[in-house]
């Protein structure tokens, strides 16, 4: 008895063939084998937006080979990816190869256990997923087919495309550029006082003036009087109004979704989103991470148990209950968040870039289940008198008390560098009613700036925010 398993890529076929061994032939379709025609719209707008498919150019030999294998096999498993695209590929394969009897199998990680579990739980092709892919593909054509030509001419590129994602992305870029060009900068002023260092602290501490407390007119957003700012900066003796101390806890970030992985890899590793997804695809096909196209920030129960057990064995702090996250509105949570298939594996991937992305994914998954980072926070308010008016200053400082999840981030310098820098301001314990003496005052000349141009990562974030 022979079994044919059809997947998309040769790398995935090689990995799964190794797991299944004799009795199975695992062959790759090389992605889609059918699509809308390149030279026509391919969507019959007058008749219910019916798509018109053709065999893709260059796939003739692949289809022929698959047909030959299909005729010889007793069982055919359509094992394409567990998303809309994968479902549509299986549907097209069934039709193009003339398959009468098949088994649709899915798995979200390429490990022996997951692949065997998929084979033992086959189902029919989910036509709802197929129709969802068809709708997205048709929308690509309707939104982009007539835009692609002019877009190529506008940017002097031969191969530019537009569609349901690219067209709104272009619009956002254009709107941002118009906003930047029409922006008028405003020069305004702030004040920072530097106070003398206290025992055991080598550097002085700083307090910032709050012009919104009594110095701005109704409707005024910025303080524009440099002369008055210089007088405020000349203050040296200030009364301590309050000094509050409390504890602040910071939870770890959620495990990666597709979007957050692209953004983090851009910030920490300087990878473009396409490169990130290509690397993630290779890690997935090699059985090293779970499926990399997901909207869910949550992990499976078994993965959480595995991660918590690993962290506990390292002596790392764990919260009492496993962490879960609320998904964004409209998220499609067919699969769990991106994580290593085996959390104890510290290093995976064939190339330095694959290894770097794997470390990013692994450390985020580990951090997601660790305890909060805990900070001691001190906030002081001070006041001085200028021209009969009171100038209020605020000094904020914080000290890391318990590392919590930050301890695993510190294992990778590129990730800790990507973390948001915290102000280093050693505010001492101050007694209300007493005085503090400034050793220096600086006028801060500031200029309002337009919104920054989009990077690929920030454009992805903006599009996600807009649904």
Please give the positions annotated as active site: 291
Is residue 401 within 8 Å of 375, Cβ to Cβ?
A: yes
Taking the C-alpha atoms of residue 219 and residue 364, their distance in angstroms, rounded to an integer, is: 44
């Amino acid at each position: 008895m022979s079994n044919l398993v059809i997947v998309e890529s040769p790398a995935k076929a090689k990995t799964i063939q190794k797991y299944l061994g004799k009795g199975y032939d695992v062959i790759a379709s090389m992605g889609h084998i059918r699509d809308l025609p390149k030279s026509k719209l391919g969507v019959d707008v007058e008749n219910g937006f019916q798509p018109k498919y053709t065999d893709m150019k260059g796939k003739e030999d692949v289809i022929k080979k698959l047909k030959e294998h299909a005729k010889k096999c007793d069982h055919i498993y359509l094992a394409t990816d567990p998303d809309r695209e994968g479902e549509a590929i299986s549907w097209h394969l069934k039709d193009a190869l003339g398959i009468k009897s098949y088994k649709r199998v899915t798995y979200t990680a390429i490990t022996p256990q997951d692949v065997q579990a998929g084979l033992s739980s086959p189902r029919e092709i989910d036509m709802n997923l197929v129709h969802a892919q068809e709708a997205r593909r048709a929308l690509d054509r309707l939104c982009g087919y007539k835009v692609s030509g002019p877009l190529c001419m506008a940017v002097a590129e031969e191969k530019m495309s537009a569609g349901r994602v690219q067209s709104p992305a272009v619009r956002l870029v254009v709107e941002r550029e118009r906003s930047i060009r029409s922006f008028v900068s405003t020069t305004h002023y702030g004040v920072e006082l530097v106070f003398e260092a206290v025992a055991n602290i080598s550097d002085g501490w700083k307090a910032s003036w709050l012009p919104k407390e009594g110095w701005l007119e109704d409707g005024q957003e910025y303080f524009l009087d440099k002369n008055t700012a210089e007088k405020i900066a000349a203050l040296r003796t200030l009364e301590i109004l309050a000094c509050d101390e409390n504890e602040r806890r910071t939870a770890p970030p959620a495990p990666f979704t597709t979007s957050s992985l692209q953004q983090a890899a851009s910030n920490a590793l300087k990878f473009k989103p396409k490169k990130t997804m290509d690397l993630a695809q290779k890690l997935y096909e090699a059985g090293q991470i779970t499926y990399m196209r997901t909207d869910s920030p949550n992990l499976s129960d078994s993965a959480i148990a595995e991660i918590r057990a690993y962290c506990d064995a390292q002596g790392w702090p764990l919260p009492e209950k496993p962490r879960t996250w609320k998904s964004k509105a409209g998220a499609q949570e067919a699969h769990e968040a991106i994580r290593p298939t085996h959390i104890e594996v510290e290093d995976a991937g064939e190339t330095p870039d694959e290894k770097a992305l794997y470390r990013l994914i692994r450390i985020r998954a580990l951090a997601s289940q660790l305890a909060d980072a805990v900070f001691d926070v001190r906030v002081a308010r001070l006041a001085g008198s200028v021209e009969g008016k009171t100038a209020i200053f605020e000094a904020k400082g914080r000290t890391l008390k318990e590392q919590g999840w930050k301890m695993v981030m510190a294992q990778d310098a590129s990730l800790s560098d990507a973390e948001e820098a915290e102000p280093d301001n050693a505010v001492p314990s101050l007694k209300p009613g007493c005085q503090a003496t400034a050793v220096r005052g600086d006028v801060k000349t500031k200029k309002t700036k337009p919104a920054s141009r989009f990077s690929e990562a920030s454009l992805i974030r903006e599009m996600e925010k807009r649904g």
